[in-house]
A and B are shown apart, each in its own frame.
Chain A
Amino acid sequence: DSGVTQTPKHLITATGQRVTLRCSPRSGDLSVYWYQQSLDQGLQFLIQYYNGEERAKGNILERFSAQQFPDLHSELNLSSLELGDSALYFCASSGLLGYGYTFGSGTRLTVV
């Protein structure tokens, strides 16, 4: 157990639907990062939150949104899902700058 908890582990849904992925960061970590991993695109940074505020945005589609709550857990919302959104979605957290990041085990999303 890395200390970063992601739920659910697997999700199968139909095109056009909306899903919410949840992440609880390691205790004490204020930063949460979301990544998408697909076979053709590799690991793509989506978005970062720090202590409840959006800090950086990467290749995140307008159909996707995220937030970090006061208890520091984060949710990634994916809407109007397309087949191409099928991927592994990882959450990572970090504490002090200059140290490694801790990744969750991911949510495997399959859009059918």
Chain B
Amino acid sequence: SQQGEEDPQALSIQEGENATMNCSYKTSINNLQWYRQNSGRGLVHLILIRSNEREKHSGRLRVTLDTSKKSSSLLITASRAADTASYFCATVVPQGAQKLVFGQGTRLTINP
């Protein structure tokens, strides 16, 4: 079963604009991670935020985490055509094995 749900399912913006994707999850987590997947290819780890962190930056990426609302957001600033991909959030729960549970993803299209 899916732990996270991304919103929106699809997003299309112009190059240079900012893109914001949201993720909601159901249970308490150890950490939350964001991944990018280009069409039909492997997933690439973008950023990890721990449950005791509220915000994290990496280059043009900004991730926030609100554990009280069980939600996270990924902001990509100054988008580029190369950012076109699917973006997934994935959670790791505190109990048991450290497996990733993925949401359904957001399909982001950057129009030149």
Contact = CB atoms under 8 A, between A and B. Distances in A.
A44 B104 CA distance: 10
A103 B99 contact: no
Nearest to A31: B98
Interface stretch (B16-24, B36-44, B59-67, B68-76): B36-44
A64 interface: no
Contacts of A31: 98
Interface in B42-56: 42-45, 47-48, 50
Q: How large is the interface on A (under 10, 10 to 19, 20 to 34, 35 or more residues)?
A: 20 to 34
Interface in A66-112: 88, 90, 92, 94, 97-106, 108
Contacts of A48: 97, 99
B109 interface: no
Interface of B: 2, 30-31, 33, 35, 40-45, 47-48, 50, 88, 96-105
29 contacts: A2-B42, A2-B44, A4-B42, A42-B102, A42-B103, A43-B105, A45-B100, A45-B101, A45-B102, A48-B99, A50-B97, A56-B99, A58-B99, A92-B100, A94-B98, A98-B30, A98-B48, A99-B48, A100-B33, A100-B45, A100-B48, A101-B45, A101-B100, A103-B35, A103-B42, A105-B42, A106-B40, A106-B42, A108-B40
